[in-house]
Amino acid sequence: MTSEPVTAYELVVSLRPLLGAEAAAEAPGCGAEPDDLEQAVWLRLLERLGTDGPPPDPLLWLRRAVRAEARRSRRRARRETGLPVDPAGTGHRDPVHLVLAAARRRALRDAVRRLPGRCPRLIEALLSPGDPTYRDVAGELGISQGSVGPERSRCLGCLRRLLTPEVAGRR
């Protein structure tokens, strides 16, 4: 049984549903619209088809391409929101930066309160000024010390998803 080369049209038709699903899954985490991610990946595919031909494993290539575009989108958003702390080098913070930093802290606290389950209490405990250990946090929340790390990771993922659209929307 020989495999015939796949045409570009057949490749696009076969990848369209997966690309839509992958872009929809990645978009909230990077602050981009799913359609924008899809369009960027289609462009990458066209570039590749023009130079290297179709990828040997199109499904794997597509998943990696979507994630790469999501990373690019996150990096772009970080670059676009960065402001200098002390542009004159005087050792004093820029008043604009101070106002924006306070707004970011308020947005963070508001987002923490919107987290599901035990996440608000866990994140608040971890952000406390006393720099608590996992043992301290576990004792305060009445959970096992071994579950603090995994739950922290899950809560930070939820927090990231809550904050990313807000940050991306401020461009």
Last residue of a domain, one of 52, 81, 110: 81
Note whether residue 90 is domain-resident. no
In terms of domains, do 148 and 113 share one? Answer: yes
Of 31, 46, 81, which one is at a domain's C-terminal end?
Answer: 81
Q: Structurally, how many domains does the chain consist of? A: 2
Residues 103 and 164 in one domain: yes
- Clarify whether residues 112 and 151 are in a common domain: yes
Contact 34, 20 (CB under 8 A): yes
Rounded distance between C-alpha atoms, residue 4 and residue 32, angstroms? 37
**Do 141 and 118 touch, CB atoms closer than 8 A?**
yes
Q: What is the pLDDT of residue 1?
A: 42
Are 99 and 87 contacting, i.e. CB atoms less than 8 angstroms apart? Answer: no
Same domain (yes/no): 73, 128:
no
Q: Is 115 helix (H, G, I), strand (E, B) or coil?
A: coil
From 56, 81, 106, the end of a domain falls on 81
Q: What's the pLDDT tens digit per position in 138-171?
A: 998 999 888 888 898 889 888 888 887 655 555 4
In-domain check, residue 160: yes
Residues 114 and 146 in one domain: yes
Q: Does residue 131 fall inside a structural domain?
A: yes
Question: Are residue 116 and residue 75 in the same domain, yes or no?
Answer: no
Query: Does residue 59 share a domain with residue 101?
Result: no
Tokens for 90, please give them.
């005087």
CATH number of the domain where residue 151 is located: 1.10.10.10
Which element (helix H / strand E) includes 150? helix 145-168
- Radius of gyration of the chain, Cα coordinates, nearest whole angstrom: 22
Predicted pLDDT at 158: 87
CB of 22 closer than 8 Å to CB of 16: no
Per-residue pLDDT tens over the stretch 70-121: 888 888 777 665 545 444 445 556 777 788 888 888 888 888 999 999 899 9
Which pLDDT belongs to residue 92?
Answer: 56
Give a yes or no: residue 23 inside a domain.
Answer: yes
Nearest to 161 by CA among 9, 62, 25, 1: 25
Residue 13 domain boundaries: 8-81
pLDDT at 91: 54
pLDDT in tens, 11-54: 889 999 999 999 999 888 887 888 888 999 999 998 888 888 88
pLDDT, residue 2, reads 43
pLDDT value of position 9:
84
